[in-house]
Amino acid sequence: MLDISTMKGKFLLIASIFILTFAGSLIAQAQWLELNESSGGTIAGMAIVVSGNDVFIGGGAGEVDYSTDNGTTWTKTNVGFNTTVHCMAMDGKNLLVGTERGVFISSDKGVNWTYDSTGMGVVFVNSLAVYDPDGIGDTIIAGAQPSTNESDFLYRSTDGGLSWSADSAGLYKVGVGPYNSIRSIAVVWPNIFAGTYNGGVLSTDGGTTWRPVSSGLPDSSTIGQLAVMGPNLYAAISYSNYTKFALCVSTNNGETWRMALDSVFGEPVFHIGEIAIHGSDMFIGNNHYIYLSTDTGLSWTIVDSNISSYPLYSIAVNDSFIFAGYDGTWNYRRPLSQVISVADVGMPSSTEHSVSTFPNPLSSSTTISFSLTESGVTEVSVVNILGTEVARIFSGELSAGEHSFSWDASGMPPGMYECIVRMNGRVERVAMVVTR
């Protein structure tokens, strides 16, 4: 028999957790500090890269603001050309900046810049990847947006970006033609995966040969950012004429994909989602939302929304802060300890029982799955943001092993919910988002 007074107390506690975790934009905004990069004003955070306590933000007009103290104080620099910064990467101590005119390099945090387009020319660079294939020295790959039928769109440098060689021949052979630019690159040598405006292409021999791979991706997917976490490759995509956003995951270097997060909020996507990895935590951002997963993308928590009225362009994480760059010259930082606390990172505290929901977010129904190491009394329920129970899915004895239950949310209003599984004296919770 359930103790009603105890249950009410637990519901109040759950309500407190949800109010803290999913507070509205006023609370979320109060937890973020707006960055004032310099007396000359802020810049649109088109790209952010961090290295230790060093933070670099690139924007329009060739501007790169940098901080050596996690964003407390800033110095404004300029690559020397009126060109927009679209991507950045670190090659040791060298900062690489991809722009509409090619790649600029600084070895002294932006005081001086090197620009040599030998072998590349003036091209629109969308993406940069740095890797060490042989343990001898770094190789840099630049993904470009061709301007003519004759232009290449993949370049490689083995001397720190001073000279480049075109590396597009294998891509032309598989139909990645002009104007289908390389949006993103991920390297797990010898595998190279490149995201384009129409799916992805994979090379398993270091870029010599390529083939299209899109199994499991929605039709006409544009792959924005890529990230590698352990054996998994993640891709932030947009599809349906840029009205839908999804995070997809592949466990076989991009051969096949499945949805890890698919959210539609009834508004157009102004920028393809961003991904930032910090240890075992993964942050993704899209438009006005930032999500966090602590279980390789099996479940998600919205940690912040509507920080700015402008679309989100970039996110980055170091050991102290999460940084967010927005269009309209608004950039923010937030202590990582706040995000971890708010999102209840670390729950569940052990892997003895693992609860997951899929899909999540959901529009009509989701499957709740978990495992019991021993038989016992189990209760599965769903509560809303106020802690009120909206569904009692199961209550009774379960044997040891894998169990799955379905929750029909078709009659539920859109919003935040929590699945609660009580088993053998333990309580585990998974946040869920119902969308329409």
Structural domains of the chain sorted by starting position, each given as residue range(s) with its CATH number in brackets: 4-23+347-434 (2.60.40.2550), 25-342 (2.130.10.10)
343 pLDDT tier (thresholds 50, 70, 90): very low
d(CA 238, CA 250): 16
Total Cβ atoms within 10 A of residue 42: 22
Six token digits for residue 114: 């090197």
Residue with the bigger pLDDT between 106 and 110: it is: 106
pLDDT at 1 over 80: no
pLDDT at 77 over 80: yes
The residue-averaged pLDDT of 178-207 equals: 85
Total Cβ atoms within 10 A of residue 397: 8
pLDDT in tens, 367-423: 999 988 888 878 898 988 666 789 999 988 889 889 999 999 998 988 878 888 887
pLDDT at 435 over 70: yes
pLDDT value at position 167?
Answer: 79
331 pLDDT tier (thresholds 50, 70, 90): confident
d(CA 234, CA 236): 7
pLDDT value at position 407?
Answer: 95
The model's pTM is 0.69
pLDDT value at position 97?
Answer: 92
Q: Considering only 88-92, 215-219, 312-316, 349-353, which range has the smallest mean pLDDT? A: 349-353
The residue-averaged pLDDT of 208-226 equals: 87
Total Cβ atoms within 10 A of residue 240: 14
Name the average pLDDT for the chain: 78
pLDDT in tens, 112-150: 888 866 788 778 898 999 988 776 668 899 988 876 655
pLDDT in tens, 298-325: 777 777 766 777 778 889 999 889 998 8
- Dihedral class, residue 70 (left if φ above 0, else alpha if ψ from -120 to 50, else beta): left
174 pLDDT tier (thresholds 50, 70, 90): low
Q: Which residues are within 8 A (CB) of 124 and not within 5 positions of it... i.e. 6 or more apart?
A: 86, 99, 100, 144, 145, 147, 181
d(CA 310, CA 1): 51
pLDDT in tens, 52-75: 899 999 887 788 888 999 988 888
Short-list 219, 211, 177, CA closest to 194 = 211
pLDDT value at position 323?
Answer: 92
Q: How large a percentage of the chain has pLDDT more than 70? A: 78
pLDDT value at position 150?
Answer: 54
pLDDT at 295 over 70: yes
**What does the buried/exposed string (b/e) look like for 328-338 if buried means 16 or more CB atoms within 10 Å of the residue's CB?**
eebbbbbebee
Identify whether the C-beta of residue 387 lies closer than 8 Å to the C-beta of residue 398: no
